[in-house]
Amino acid sequence: MASSRNPIAGQAAIVGIGHTVQGELPGRSVEENAVDAALLALADAGLSVDDLDGLIGCKSVQGQGNDVTVGQLLGRNLPYVQSLDYGTCNFSLHLAVMAIVSGLASTILLTYGANARTAKFDFGKPMYGADMASAAGLVHISGRAGLALQRHKALYGTTDEQFGMLAVGQRQWAQKNPNAIFRTPMTMADYLAEPYMVEPLRRSDVTMISDGGVAVVVTTAERARNLPQQPVYVSGIAEHAGVRGEHNPENLMRPWLKDSAKAIWSTTGLTPADMDAVYIQDPTAVWSLQMLEYYGFCGLGEGGPFLAEGHTLPGGDLPLNTHGGQLSESYTWGWMHMVEAVRQLRGQAGERQLADPKVALYASSHGFLKAAASVLSTEESVAA
């Protein structure tokens, strides 16, 4: 039930998920991948394109796949179409929830497509235009993420073995996921034997690049009750910006993540201990380390020992990215994280299915600029 503290609680639900094969899909555009996934998500929801009154197209890294270009292939003039200029699935989900709560639309398709792998997108180009950092060779996301990790190691004594639990753990989850691209077993010894790519980061600490489409359908709680799948309700949303960018002291540590964390727990009245699983969008494993700490699953600086204790591994008490995340499953900017959260909450996750999960956190970020979090649940009301 909605409250003044959390007016969106339980008002919208994810009722359909769909995705293409993740990997190499040569000759297919961002939009084709997005629409292939969209048709699967609609079928999963028991709906057709004519049931939609909203479309949110998430841009790819190349700037393709927005509402206007995906909309041409879907071929319907809908009341509400929108696109973010950046982003991960979380921000698009929030946009959908807000449109539903405000009455702009009631049944919205969210799409994402990627072909950065076969299109050979240049991830080494300067991140923020030509600046002193790129002139110094600080290019690719692993440069800035590596600076943050090195600082973490120096401040808190975090070791390679502790941090490596993320890459190794994600591979363990991926081995239980037939959709995952990297499923070859990787021991800690294998991990430590990998040479540094951008020290202190190894190749396995950084996302793969893959092609693929992902889509979800979000609708009102009322309509969700009459659809075939167990609805997965959006129980709370929160965001916080760090758009002051490099003019924030220590911005590489992304300190504003703790502000989105504070907001998601205060708006929902829940705590980290209430989460049955956590999904962290992880273009690098550094993001997971930071968010586990900022969202309060362990103390600030305690991420290393916390990971070493195995909480996030299969069988642990805080399952993290049960599909393998961007390190082992696929690229897709966190979209498959949300698909996996829905699968787990529905009880459709096969070999890696958790025991009756009811509430999950999905936390993500837009690089060094924005944070977003959502709590997803099988219950319309999860007030603590």
Partner 1 sequence: MSGDLSPVDDPVAGPFFAGILEGRFTAQRCNSCEALRWPPLSGCPDCHSRSTTWVEVAPTGTIWSFVVYHRAFQASLKEEIPYTVAMVELDDGPYVVGRLVPGDKPPAVGDRVVAELGEFGGVPSVRWRTA
Q: Using CB under 8 A as the criterion, which residues of the chain lie in contact with partner 1 when the complex forms?
A: 123-126, 129-140, 142-143, 146-148, 150-151, 154-155, 195-201, 244, 246-247, 249-250, 252
Closer by beta carbon to partner 1, 66 or else 142: 142
Quick one: which of 49, 48, 39, 50 has its CA closest to 17? 39
Q: How far is the CB of 368 from partner 1 (least distance, A)?
A: 13
* Contact yes or no for 271/384 (Cβ under 8 A): yes
CB of 134 to partner 1, least distance (A): 5
How many angstroms separate the CA atoms of 369 and 256, rounded?
9
User: Distances from the Cα of 248 to the Cαs of 146, 245, 254, in angstroms?
Assistant: 18, 6, 9
Q: Residue 199 or residue 222: which is nearer to partner 1 going by CB? A: 199
Q: Is 124 or 299 the residue whose CB approaches partner 1 more closely?
A: 124
Q: How far is the CB of 188 from partner 1 (least distance, A)?
A: 21
Report the alpha-carbon distance of residue 183 to residue 149 in Å, rounded.
25
| Residue 78 near residue 105 (C-beta atoms within 8 A) | yes
Which residue's structure tokens are 């993420």?
145
Cα separation, 82 vs 110, in Å, equals 10
Nearer to partner 1, 287 or 335 (CB): 287
Shortest Å, Cβ 254 to partner 1: 13
Helix (H, G, I), strand (E, B) or coil at 344: helix
Q: Which is nearer to partner 1, 21 or 133 (CB)?
A: 133
Based on CB atoms, which residue is closest to partner 1, 198 or 232?
Answer: 198
Q: Which residues fall within 8 angstroms of residue 100, CB to CB, at 6 or more apart? A: 11, 12, 106, 108, 218, 219, 220
**Residue 160 burial (CB < 10 Å; 0-12/13-18/19+)?**
middle
Instruction: Find out whether 197 and 203 touch, Cβ atoms under 8 Å.
Output: yes
Of 246 and 356, which CB lies nearer to partner 1 in the complex structure?
246
State in angstroms the smallest separation of the CB of 370 from partner 1. 17
Q: d(Cα 354, Cα 374) in Å, to the nearest integer? A: 19
User: How far apart are CB 293 and partner 1 at their closest, in Å?
Assistant: 17
